[in-house]
Amino acid sequence: MRPRRLIRAGTSFGRIFIKDILRKTAARHAPEHLRDERIMTARLATIEEIKQQVGNLKGLTIKLAQMAGYLDSSITPELSSALATFQTQAPTISFELVQQVLEEELGDRTREFAEIDPEPVAAASIGQVHWGRLHDGSEVAIKVQFPTAAELIEADLGNAGLLTGLLRLAFPAMETGQMAEELTERIREELDYAHEAKVQRRFHDFYRGHPYIVIPAVHDRLSGRRVLTSTFEKGVLLDQLLTTDQATRDHYGELIFRFVFRSLYQLGLFNGDPHPGNYLVLPNGRMAFLDFGFSKAFSANELQLFESMIRAMVVEGDAREFRDIIHRAGLLTEPDLDPEPVREYFKAFYDLVLDDRVIQVTDEYATGILHHTFMPSNPLAKYLNVPRTFVVIQRINLGLYALLGRLGATRNWRRIAAEIWPFVNAPPSTAIGEDEWRWRNDS
C-alpha cells in the first residue's frame, strides 16, 4: 500500500508544482508596485493546495507547515489559516497509546511515575507532552512520540524529490539539493528523543545557574528513543506577553536574543525551532526554553566563518571582503559581482546590529525580512544559494525576528551583540547584561 500512496502523492505534487509556476508567471506580469505581493500570494495559495492535496503526508508536511506558519504577519486571514491550522490544531493520540509507548520504551521504569495527567498539556507534529509527578513529589513533563510518527516521516523523506520539490517552491532560483539533505538529517535527528536529550543536557549544563534563562533538566532513567522526561516548568506562553507593557516585552525579547546568539557563539549550538510555544515565561523575569529536537551543532570552522562575515559587514564595512567570504562559503555562485549590490542585499539580515542605536523590532520589519528572503525579483537572486551550513541558521532571519516583531521588542541590539561576539567581548550594556556578566564570571 505504501508505494501506491507515494506515487499518488508525487502525482498530486506535480500538479501543484505546475499550477504554482502558472500562478507566479501571472503574478510577474502584474503592475510593478503589486508584483512582489502577488508572487507571495501565489506561493501561499500553493501552501493551501499542499495542505489540501498532500495532506496525507502527515509527518513531514505538518512539520514544514508548522515551521512556516508563524513567520509572516502580513498575509491575509484566508491564506494564513492554511498554515495556522498546523500550529493550533496539532493532532493528539489517546492516553492508552501514550501508555503503550511508555511501557515499550521504559518497561518497569514506568512505575516511577506516581501520576500522569491523561490530558496532554501540549502537542506538536510528532508527539505530545503530559504532566506527571514522581513518587518524591517532583513534577515532570513527559514528551511522548506518536507511535507512527517515525514511520510516516521516514516514508515522506524516502519519497524521492518531495522535500526538494517543496523547497523549490520557496527558493525557485536556487539549488535545493543541499537544503533537502540538511533538513532531512535534522528531521531524522528530531525523531530520536535520545539525541534530543543529549542536546538538552548540553544546553542545561551551559546555562546552569543563569539568572534568567532556564533549561529543564532531563530525567535520564525516564527517557528513551520515543520518550523524553524533563523537569516541569510552570509558566505562561510567550503570546500572553503581547498585552503587557513595553518594558516587560523588551525584557523577554532581550532574553530570547541573548539565548540564541550566546548559544550559537559560545556553545556552538543553535536551537532551530524558534516557535512561540517553545518559550515559557516564568516568575521573576525568567524564561524557560523548551524543545531541542531540531537543533544544529556548528564546528569551530563554521563559527569562524560566521564571525568573519560579521567583521566584514558590520565592524569593518568592507563590501569586497564580504563578497569574497560569502562566495568562498557558497552563498554566492559568482565571484566577480559588484560588491556594493551584494552588500546592500545582505545588509538587510544585519540591520539590527549595523548601527549603535536603539531599534524596535516590528511586525513590518520581520515581514520585510521574510519577503526580502523569498522574493525572486532582486537581480542578485539568480546568483544566490544556501549551502548546508546556512540552512538551519536561516531560522534566525525568519523565526527569531518574527518573534521579536510580535513583542515589538526595543533595544540597542548592536551593543548586546557586541557583548556576545567572541571577537569583541564588549562590557555589559543592559541590566540583564550586568547580571549575565556576574553569572559568567562566578560560574
Which of the residues are catalytic?
A: 273
- CA–CA dist 419, 153 (Å, integer): 40
- CA–CA dist 83, 97 (Å, integer): 27
- CA–CA dist 170, 24 (Å, integer): 12
Q: What is the grid cell recorded at 191?
A: 525523531
- Asked if 90 contacts 121 with a C-beta cutoff of 8 angstroms, the reply is no
Using DSSP, state whether 217 is helix, strand or coil. Answer: coil
**Rg (the chain; Cα; Å):** 22
Q: Phi first, then psi: what are they for 288, rounded to 5°? A: -95, 135
Name 270's bridge partners: 296
The amino acid occupying position 139 is E
Could you tell me where the beta strands, DSSP code E, fall in 232-358? 236-237, 269-271, 279-281, 287-289, 295-297
Q: What is the grid cell recorded at 436?
A: 549575565
Which of 374, 380, 384, 348 lies closest to 72, judged by CA? 374
DSSP 8-class letter at 216: P
Could you tell me where the beta strands, DSSP code E, fall in 16-93? none
